[in-house]
Amino acid sequence: MAASATGPTAGEYIVHHLGFLQNRKPTGVVDFGVFNFDSIFWATLLGVLGCLLLWRAARKATSGVPGRFQAAVEVLVEMVDSQAKGIVHNAQSRKFVAPLALTVFVWIFLMNAMDLLPVDLIPQIWHGVAPAVGAPDYMRVVPTADLSVTMGLSLAVLLVCLYYNVKIKGAGGWIHELFTAPFGSHPLLWPFNFLMQIIEFVAKTVSHGMRLFGNMYAGELIFMLIALMGGAWSLSATGIGLAIGHIIAGTAWAIFHILIITLQAFVFMMLTLVYVGQAHDAH
């Protein structure tokens, strides 16, 4: 594609694939009036799919010898439950936190796994549909490579943490902690304590979302660069070498990326448990 005289250049190809199906272009670095419809659609679809898979496993669970699907789900549930028990020591809280962590892991894994689809598969399908419905020719299919999605997830975790701070410690106890930890309860230290607490909440939330976004964005870029190798093939020694390199690099990176998408889902889930667990601890 990139080598074609009438096709886009490598830079134009990547820029186009990094574009979102939006209601309008953003007017600044932060514009809350912009909606990335492709990210919303795929995130919602995969969230529903994840819930259906877990519901199906629960519905077909038996006390006998489990099938492969049920066994896989049971292993996953036991893993998440053991991690929740080790971090969140309040048994009542775990009734909500453990299913939340399981949902987070499955949902993020499915969103990350969209990166394993061929780069041009769904965008090319949308390329044929978009003109018919009068929509822009943009379709990005990895929701976790969208910063607004990952930051939305991390903000949701922050809200859960704030809820448990108030529930476990009481409104007065949490406010007291905001002004007396970590340096002490002397009135002169209250402004510094409050500032440090706010910085901690902001830093945890931003790093939580940015870590997932950065890894998935980088992985998406590498897949695009590998796709460009295949698009530049021709009946020459260099062109055939690029085609072979495209197959080898694409296969190797896809296999390695399976580890990345799983690890990133696990890390996000674990940090969710850690942050919620910290909300239960008194300083």
The tokens for 32 are 């809350």
Position 104: which residue type?
Answer: V
What are the helix and strand counts (H, E) for the chain?
8, 0
CA distance 223 to 192: 46
**What is the per-residue pLDDT for 160?**
97
Catalytic residue ranges:
207, 211, 215
**What is the per-residue pLDDT for 1?**
39
Total residue length of the chain: 283
- The candidate with the shortest Cα–Cα distance to 39, out of 53, 15, 25, 22, is 22
pTM: 0.92
Instruction: Encode the chain (283 residues) as per-residue pLDDT tens digits.
Output: 334 456 788 899 999 999 999 999 998 888 889 999 999 999 999 999 999 999 998 888 776 777 888 888 999 999 999 999 999 999 999 999 999 999 999 999 999 999 999 999 999 999 999 998 889 999 999 999 999 999 999 999 999 999 999 999 999 999 999 999 999 999 999 999 999 999 999 999 999 999 999 999 999 999 999 999 888 777 788 888 888 998 999 999 999 999 999 999 999 999 999 999 999 987 6
- The candidate with the shortest Cα–Cα distance to 162, out of 195, 112, 126, 197, is 197
**What is the per-residue pLDDT for 6?**
64
Beta bridge partners of 36: 22
- b/e per residue 154-172 (b: at least 16 CB within 10 A): beebbebbeebbeebbeee
CA distance 176 to 187: 11
**What is the per-residue pLDDT for 70?**
86
**What is the per-residue pLDDT for 69?**
86
The tokens for 245 are 């390199």
- The verdict on whether omega for the bond into residue 143 sits within 30 degrees of 0, i.e. cis, is no
